[in-house]
Structure 1
Amino acid sequence: MAHHILGQSRTQTTLFPEALDDFVTEDNPVRVVDVFVEGLDLETLGFERVVAKGKGRPGYHPAILLKLYIYGYLNRIQTSRRLEKESHRNIELMWLLGRLMPDFKTIADFRKDNRKGIKGACRQFVEMCRQMNMFTDSLFAIDGSKFKAVNNKSKNYTPSKVQFHIDRVEKSIQKYLSQMDSKDENEKESSNTVSASKLAWLEQRLIELKALEVEVSEHPDKQVSQTDPDARLMKTHHMERQVCYNVQTAVDTKHHLIAHHDIVMTTDRGQLTLVAKQVQQAMKNKDIIVIADKGYFSRNDIKASHDLGMTVNVPQTDTSGSAKKGIFNKSLFKYDKDKDVYICPAGETLQNRFRSKEKGVEQDVYFNNVACSQCEIRAKCTTSAKNEVRRMRRWIHESIIEDMQKRLDDNPDIPVLRKQTVEHPFGTIKMWMGATHFVTKRLESVGTEMSLSVLAYNLKRMMSIMGTTGLMEAMMA
């Protein structure tokens, strides 16, 4: 033992006890949490019990519990019971909370009762970053990712799944009844023993499934999640189906800070304008550039975003089935903007004949009856009857899509930039959350959890960019 570093005796007393502040270095991230929360106007943000009542048992100030949660999410400690345990043994938390040790019920109730305040604190940090000129490029990548809910896939039911279970139970009941009939005919056969309790359970299960079938058919989304009613069965990145929430984020391409986040229960399509509009409001700037993947491609959505003053870059999806049919794709028909006509692969001109409206989209229809009926390569152009012609449909705002496609063609690195930007925060947050991402149920509670995760992520990013002491100085300036 003489050649090893020796520890201090556990029974050793000191004349002057160490101060708790001595155990927390000046550049410790816990000091950033303390400075950030102390600078917030908690009452304005919507936190409850900021002003204590003059009677009754005193409660904890919301700043104490907010510090506890932010510290927890920064250090992958998300449950109230684990936070309670850490407050009893963690030196950093003892310093941060002033040796207060709230119980798990108080900790859990704070997150449940202060959803508005927690989301406000997350937005306030984004505003603080904006004031520090962290979003000067005004270029944001938007994407969605599926985060697992508490609800297991076995507790989620769709019409086909309910019918599968009903058929399975009915077959089992029929099998048991057949065995009972066989036993009555030949009582000596010991192999056909039937459990009456098992049969009763199956009959009760069938009644439950029939009731569940009605519930599923009456549900707007045609599916029911029994553990977390708000969670939905969705396809994940690897085309697997999981009960999830679809988290939308807009991430700054320069510093990878999350400027806005939201949770939706549908696919990414149709979410572009909703997310981008919130980014405009958060940045107090309409002139922003947005990039997204082809899952967000929607003509009406892109038009709405364009009308709001932003520049949108979304790759166009080719949903045409022409290639499978063995006929010319629409891309082979060239549009002449000056003459407002299409030139077909045979070199003929297709004039603008009339305007129609399909599924809420106004389109101009182009065709040439004479040229098409006499065309030698007509079989490669259309599979319709001889008296019908190939018609080209052009959205009346198609120029917006064409301009967007030209920007994408001129800047082939845009898709790579989007992936490098938006996948980083998702991967980091999911790693922090663990295998089961959310620990709470229902959309409002899950939204609060996500706000805490985003706030912790943005804090971590800012500390990496500016350093802990530099960030604290900027906060107090």
Structure 2
Amino acid sequence: MSCHIQGQDRSQVTLFPEALDDFVTEDNPIRVIDAFVDQLDLHSLGFLRTKAKSTGRPGYHPATLLKLYIYGYLNRIQSSRRLEREAHRNVELMWLMERLTPDFKTIADFRKDNGKGIKNACRTFIELCRSMNMFSEAVVAIDGSKFKAVNSKQNNYTPQKVRAHIERFEKHIEQYIAQLDQADAADFHREDEVTVAQKISWMQQRISELRIIEDQVNRHPEKQVSTTDTDSRLLKTKGMTRQVCYNVQSAVDTKHHLIVAHEVTNTNDRGQLTHVARLAQSALANDEITVIADKGYYSRQDIKAAQDTGVTALVPKGDTSGSEKNGFFNKSLFRYEQERDLYTCPAGQELQYRFESLEKGQALKVYFNGAACRDCSIRAKCTRSKKEPRKIRRWVHEDEMEDMERRLQAAPDTMLIRKRTVEHPFGTIKAWMGSTHFLTRRFKNVSTEMGLHVLAYNLKRMLSIMGTENLLRALKE
């Protein structure tokens, strides 16, 4: 007679074998977590309470809680309460934590208090990867991605938004007062007049609160205030929508897709190239790296500053000029001759260098040909001015930007490489997070949370690249 597979009797003395280690196979990734944390010098990395006090109730060693968090972020379990539950029922965690079961407050406080140590642990893992010769090509792609903050749109205020709220409440108060006046004129008193008066009182109180917020917004350098998470900002996301979020910058190795450096910001991408490139240089212990970024990072001064540090930058230039839309010749139609230091205009006339000027902190060389421009038959397509000739301004370091453009033209797949490199980690981490926001607030805590995401991501990538046994062997060498 056939039957189904039968389980063990729950009333037996023990369901587990005598050794918990029997439940964890030799190729289980948690052995890598255990080996990695055990070889860290947690005290020098900045973790607190690495040395137990001689008095008082004993606490948990930071290594235990770090292992718990790495396991949690590697398995999409980020909240302290869920980690507490898993420690009681998850056999892998029982093995990893030697059957210790800290409460959620202890778990949450560890993440809050050890931001420096977690950040350094993330950096140490990249150093281990570097020692394994994972970054031999020294090419990284840089990009930023918006991650939702705890702060909702409703609790973010701009001058226009707070003024609109105040005007709306003032209009409602006027309407309610008019209703009361009508009731008094008709000598008709209703029971709900008390309710109306209470509503008016509440709205007046709300207006007072909004005026305080309005003052804060107007005094804020960015003219924006978030009341729940004060470091978060309303930023443009994909599809030109706006969301209260953080912009996480990352530098990703093009060969193995490892995140070599990252930083949490609350600004847009422009102006971030040099800073993130320096973080990547430090992580790779190599100044002569190649950095790829999209046109959102194009800033001539920023690119120049990055290249002065030894970076080879590859950033396409976006055409932000409105000349073509307005029916005028775009600057790109004026051909520059480096040997003669002049421009040739669409009419075939030569525009000579005349003088140098300083505009918005930039040293610019100015080119024009007054005589040729005055008698030009297509002048109307070149300038609106009836007296002044068309002037072309050239940055004194423009030759470096042109060299970069030539490097990009010689490598047409550069932007494709950037896309498939740097967008992969962001997509993976957001999938792990789910359709949600950061669990913490403020730069310090959000940076710690992101550091755990990056450490878990890099660990998973290395497991995929090397396999558990090889990575374990490398960590123990």
Q: Following TM superposition, by how much is the alpha carbon of 1:3 offset from its aligned partner in structure 2, in angstroms?
A: 2.1
Deviations 1:254-293 (A, max 9, x none): 1100000001111100000000011111111111100000
Structure 2 CA distance, aligned partners of 1:190 and 1:325?
64
Q: What is the correspondence of 1:376-395 to structure 2 with a 5 Å cutoff?
A: 376-384=377-385, 386-395=386-395
Moved over 2 A (4+): 12-18, 187-194
Deviations 1:116-149 (A, max 9, x none): 1000000000000001011111110000000000
Q: Following TM superposition, by how much is the alpha carbon of 1:202 offset from its aligned partner in structure 2, in angstroms?
A: 0.9
Q: Do structure 1's residue 306 and structure 2's residue 307 form an aligned pair?
A: yes
Q: Tell me the equivalent position of 1:284.
A: 285
Partner SS, residue 324 of structure 1: coil
Q: Which amino acid aligns with 1:152?
A: S
Q: What is the correspondence of 1:242-261 to structure 2 with a 5 Å cutoff?
A: 242-261=243-262
Q: What is the correspondence of 1:64-103 to structure 2 with a 5 Å cutoff?
A: 64-103=64-103
Q: What is the correspondence of 1:117-156 to structure 2 with a 5 Å cutoff?
A: 117-156=117-156
Structure 2 CA distance, aligned partners of 1:21 and 1:151?
44
Q: Tell me the equivalent position of 1:232.
A: 233
RMSD: 1.5
What TM-score do you get using the length of structure 1 for normalisation? Answer: 0.98
Structure 2 CA distance, aligned partners of 1:228 and 1:325?
43
Q: Which amino acid aligns with 1:259?
A: V
Note if contact 1:332-1:345 (Cα within 8 Å) is conserved in structure 2: yes
Q: Which amino acid aligns with 1:270?
A: G
Q: Which amino acid aligns with 2:229?
A: D
Partner SS, residue 322 of structure 1: coil
Structure 2 CA distance, aligned partners of 1:66 and 1:353?
64
Q: Following TM superposition, by how much is the alpha carbon of 1:189 offset from its aligned partner in structure 2, in angstroms?
A: 8.7
Q: Do structure 1's residue 179 and structure 2's residue 172 form an aligned pair?
A: no
Q: Following TM superposition, by how much is the alpha carbon of 1:238 offset from its aligned partner in structure 2, in angstroms?
A: 2.0
Unaligned runs of 5+ in 1: none
Q: Which amino acid aligns with 1:195?
A: V
Partner SS, residue 323 of structure 1: coil
Deviations 1:138-170 (A, max 9, x none): 110000000000111101111110001001000
**Alpha-carbon distance change, 431 to 15 in structure 1, aligned in 2, over 3 angstroms:** closer
Q: Tell me the equivalent position of 1:441.
A: 441
Partner SS, residue 150 of structure 1: coil
> May I ask how many residue pairs the two structures share in their alignment?
476
Q: Tell me the equivalent position of 1:48.
A: 48
Q: Tell me the equivalent position of 1:333.
A: 334
Worse-matched range after superposition: 249-258 or 15-24: 15-24
Q: Tell me the equivalent position of 1:164.
A: 164
Q: Do structure 1's residue 219 and structure 2's residue 220 form an aligned pair?
A: yes
Q: Tell me the equivalent position of 1:360.
A: 361
Partner SS, residue 55 of structure 1: coil
Q: Following TM superposition, by how much is the alpha carbon of 1:196 offset from its aligned partner in structure 2, in angstroms?
A: 1.5
Unaligned runs of 5+ in 2: none
Structure 1 CA distance, aligned partners of 2:14 and 2:445?
47
Deviations 1:4-49 (A, max 9, x none): 1111111123699431001111111111100000010111101111
Q: Following TM superposition, by how much is the alpha carbon of 1:187 offset from its aligned partner in structure 2, in angstroms?
A: 3.8
Structure 2 CA distance, aligned partners of 1:103 and 1:131?
37
Partner SS, residue 364 of structure 1: strand
Note if contact 1:149-1:244 (Cα within 8 Å) is conserved in structure 2: yes
Partner SS, residue 461 of structure 1: helix
What TM-score do you get using the length of structure 2 for normalisation? Answer: 0.98
Structure 2 CA distance, aligned partners of 1:455 and 1:17?
33
Note if contact 1:183-1:192 (Cα within 8 Å) is conserved in structure 2: no
Deviations 1:354-410 (A, max 9, x none): 0011111111000001110011111111111x2110000000000111011111112
Structure 1 CA distance, aligned partners of 2:463 and 2:73?
15
Worse-matched range after superposition: 324-333 or 9-18: 9-18
Deviations 1:195-241 (A, max 9, x none): 22111111111111111111111112211111111111111112111
Structure 1 CA distance, aligned partners of 2:209 and 2:264?
32
**Alpha-carbon distance change, 406 to 17 in structure 1, aligned in 2, over 3 angstroms:** closer
Q: Tell me the equivalent position of 1:316.
A: 317
Note if contact 1:47-1:114 (Cα within 8 Å) is conserved in structure 2: yes
Partner SS, residue 366 of structure 2: strand
Q: Which amino acid aligns with 1:458?
A: N
Structure 1 CA distance, aligned partners of 2:436 and 2:240?
18
Structure 2 CA distance, aligned partners of 1:120 and 1:189?
70
Deviations 1:62-107 (A, max 9, x none): 1001000100100111111111111011100010001001111111
Structure 1 CA distance, aligned partners of 2:135 and 2:437?
29
Worse-matched range after superposition: 233-242 or 87-96: 233-242
Q: Which amino acid aligns with 1:41?
A: D
Note if contact 1:143-1:250 (Cα within 8 Å) is conserved in structure 2: yes
Partner SS, residue 212 of structure 1: helix
Q: Which amino acid aligns with 1:268?
A: D
Structure 2 CA distance, aligned partners of 1:125 and 1:16?
34
**Alpha-carbon distance change, 15 to 215 in structure 1, aligned in 2, over 3 angstroms:** closer
Structure 2 CA distance, aligned partners of 1:267 and 1:189?
57
Q: Tell me the equivalent position of 2:210.
A: 209
Partner SS, residue 238 of structure 1: helix
Q: Which amino acid aligns with 2:92?
A: E
Q: Percent identity?
A: 63
Structure 2 CA distance, aligned partners of 1:237 and 1:259?
25
Q: Tell me the equivalent position of 1:115.
A: 115
Partner SS, residue 262 of structure 1: strand
Note if contact 1:115-1:444 (Cα within 8 Å) is conserved in structure 2: yes
Structure 1 CA distance, aligned partners of 2:257 and 2:209?
49
Q: Tell me the equivalent position of 2:352.
A: 351
